[in-house]
Amino acid sequence: MKLNKIIIFPILLLLTSCSGSNMMGNAIPPLWFEEATEDIYNEDEYLEIEENDFVDAKENPLSTFSLDSSGAAYSNIRSYLNNGILPSFDQVNIEQMINYFDYDYICKEDENVCVFSELSSCPWNEEAKLASIAVKTKECKYEEYSGNNYVFLIDVSGSMGSKNKLPLVKKGFNMLVDKLNKNDRVSIVVYSGKEATIVDGAKGSENLKLKYAINSLNASGSTNGHSAIQSAYKLAKKHFITGGMNQILLATDGDFNVGVSSVEGLKELVQEELNSGVSLSCFGFGMGNYKDNRMQELALNGNGNVFYIDDEQEVERVFGGNIDSITQIVAKDAKIQIYFDSNKVEKYRLIGYENRMMSNEDFNNSDVDAGEIYSNRTTIALYEIYTLEDFDSLFNATLRYKDVESNEQQEIVTLCGVFSDNPSDNHIFASIVAEFGLLLRDSKYKGKSTYNQVMEIFNQHASFKKDYLKVQFYELVNKAKTLSDKE
């Protein structure tokens, strides 16, 4: 990948913040603002991806993985393409690209979670079929809940000084505050070289107090995220609301450089809190020094989700929409197991979910941690399948998850694999997003994929053009094609 470097010379400004306030009830330490110096695009870090291979259905008819409802990879890829850079292989997390978008699957009124499946020809491989399995959660009504408990954990280290970091954090959390009510509890912890608690268990209705704290933040210093996470968990447990969501919302670029900072060390830190009833979700900001690998591991092991905020439009989408989609978990420890009929299926390949694979034995073990799915979200998995003949009912899918209210294990079994020459727009759009991901990876499984083919399929479906995010997807495919043609 060709690397472009932009050097921003450091500017230090001393900003004054209140050393104490009756309205706040906590002192806000004076902080230095620093416009960070960084070599853009060359220090971002991602979890290594080792692409899934085809599996012989006779040797292993079971495929098991933890669900991932995050869409962070797509907005991260978008930020690169909009800056004229093709993403690296490990950035292209295909399931997160697919799951970024909204789909119009509809559950029955009495269903909290439902499963849909389709089978069609594979756009990039004429010899194979393409199966989709979609898990949809119900839409929660925030006003129906008695109250939730949040800790805003905000990185104010020097690396957050860029205009696409802390200013966007402030805007996003201000929007979130507007959606809270008197039954909610909010604490705010900030950290750079040291951490500080600037709000301790305020009511969600104390709008001015919370916004004052957020808007007073400035960036300076090193990044001791380890002790700040520990403090956030203590506060979350201090103000724990039984029957509500108890969540830490971490906003950072992931650049921990003081204390425990390795991926494994941070993973162990949040795993210690797995039974606390507190979840941790990550909101990533910035480019050039973004540590996605840490964000993914923190959220996965903290029973939370990952978001990547690349611009003001994404702030509006994530924080300005339905609050339940980022705060209300519907299905805990969600995992899925597919059983392929080896009398009908020769081999299969799961597209994406490389870092979410589970052993078949762990599927029925309710003590094994898996993914969380939030309100009104669609999580899709695609399989490329070689059949022995043109059969239907190629496989069945079993979804297991814990109900968020009762904590009881739930199971949904769906018979899948009825072939259609006219699949739904949901299935088709997911397939072209996957094809786009294969092209960005320059995958050995991309077959006859081309950027032109992705755009041609898009143009055949009028419904795609009614969704501005899907129209933007088309524009990104065209940008990627242009960049690829130049290499």
| Count of positions (residues) in the chain | 487
Burial class (CB in 10 A: 0-12, 13-18, 19+), 340: buried
Whether the per-residue pLDDT at 142 is higher than 80: the answer is: no
**Residue 418, pLDDT score:** 82
Whether the per-residue pLDDT at 15 is higher than 50: the answer is: no
Vertex 446 angle, CA 441 and 448, to 5°: 135
pLDDT tens digits along 373-401: 999 999 999 999 999 988 888 999 999 99
Stronger pLDDT, 91 or 21, i.e. the higher one: 91
- pLDDT above 70 covers a percentage of the chain that reads 89
Residue 50: CB partners within 8 Å, gap ≥ 6? 354
Write the DSSP assignment of 162-201 as a string of letters: STTSHHHHHHHHHHHHTT--TT-EEEEEEESSSEEEEEEE
| Distance separating alpha carbons of residues 438 and 448, to the nearest angstrom | 11
280, HSE (Cβ side, Cα atoms, 13 Å): 35
For residue 373, the surrounding DSSP H or E stretch is strand 371-374
User: pLDDT-based confidence at 226, cuts 50/70/90?
Assistant: confident
Whether the per-residue pLDDT at 324 is higher than 90: the answer is: no
Average the pLDDT over each of 241-245, 266-270, 385-389 and give the range with the smallest value: 266-270
**Max Cα separation, the chain?**
75
| Distance separating alpha carbons of residues 91 and 77, to the nearest angstrom | 7
Helices (H) and strands (E) in the chain, counts: 12, 18
Stronger pLDDT, 10 or 318, i.e. the higher one: 318
Stronger pLDDT, 25 or 239, i.e. the higher one: 239
pLDDT tens digits along 22-32: 333 333 333 32
Write the DSSP assignment of 445-467 as a string of letters: T-TT--HHHHHHHHHT-GGGGGS
φ, ψ of residue 221 in degrees (nearest 5): 85, -170
- Using CA atoms of 159, 163, 167, 169 in order, give the dihedral in degrees to the nearest 10: -60
- Mean pLDDT (whole number) for 82-90: 96
Burial class (CB in 10 A: 0-12, 13-18, 19+), 107: middle
Q: Is 410 helix (H, G, I), strand (E, B) or coil?
A: strand
**Residue 266, pLDDT score:** 77
- The first and second tokens of residue 11, run together, are 């500017």
Distances (CA, A) of 57 to 154, 265, 342, 349: 47, 37, 5, 10
**Residue 257, pLDDT score:** 61
Burial class (CB in 10 A: 0-12, 13-18, 19+), 59: exposed
Cβ proximity of 254 and 294 under 8 Å = yes
φ, ψ of residue 122 in degrees (nearest 5): -95, 120
Mean pLDDT of the chain, nearest integer: 88
Strands laid side by side in the 246-252 sheet: 195-203, 185-191, 149-155, 246-252, 279-285, 306-309
Q: Minimal CA–CA distance to 370: which of 324, 430, 410, 414?
A: 410
Whether the per-residue pLDDT at 14 is higher than 80: the answer is: no
**Residue 89, pLDDT score:** 98
Burial class (CB in 10 A: 0-12, 13-18, 19+), 152: buried
User: pLDDT-based confidence at 259, cuts 50/70/90?
Assistant: low
| Distance separating alpha carbons of residues 331 and 243, to the nearest angstrom | 15
Whether the per-residue pLDDT at 451 is higher than 90: the answer is: yes
Average the pLDDT over each of 50-54, 224-228, 261-265, 478-482 and give the range with the smallest value: 261-265
φ, ψ of residue 239 in degrees (nearest 5): -110, 25
- The first and second tokens of residue 118, run together, are 């389709």
Q: Minimal CA–CA distance to 189: which of 181, 199, 177, 179?
A: 199
Whether the per-residue pLDDT at 7 is higher than 60: the answer is: no
| Distance separating alpha carbons of residues 447 and 50, to the nearest angstrom | 18
Q: What is the Rg, in whole angstroms, of the alpha carbon atoms belonging to the chain? A: 23
- Using CA atoms of 84, 448, 62, 392 in order, give the dihedral in degrees to the nearest 10: 130
| Distance separating alpha carbons of residues 334 and 296, to the nearest angstrom | 16
**Residue 68, pLDDT score:** 87
Average the pLDDT over each of 16-20, 147-151, 199-203 and give the range with the smallest value: 16-20
**Residue 391, pLDDT score:** 81
Whether the per-residue pLDDT at 34 is higher than 60: the answer is: no
Instruction: Determine the residue type at 303.
Output: N
Instruction: Determine the residue type at 22.
Output: N
**Residue 71, pLDDT score:** 96
**Residue 355, pLDDT score:** 95
**Residue 397, pLDDT score:** 97
**Residue 1, pLDDT score:** 38
pLDDT tens digits along 162-196: 999 999 999 999 999 999 989 999 999 999 988 99
- The first and second tokens of residue 152, run together, are 């805003």
- The first and second tokens of residue 7, run together, are 């050097």
- Mean pLDDT (whole number) for 359-375: 93
**Residue 221, pLDDT score:** 82
Stronger pLDDT, 351 or 321, i.e. the higher one: 351
User: pLDDT-based confidence at 481, cuts 50/70/90?
Assistant: very high
User: pLDDT-based confidence at 88, cuts 50/70/90?
Assistant: very high
Distances (CA, A) of 24 to 41, 171, 194, 207, 211: 39, 19, 20, 11, 10
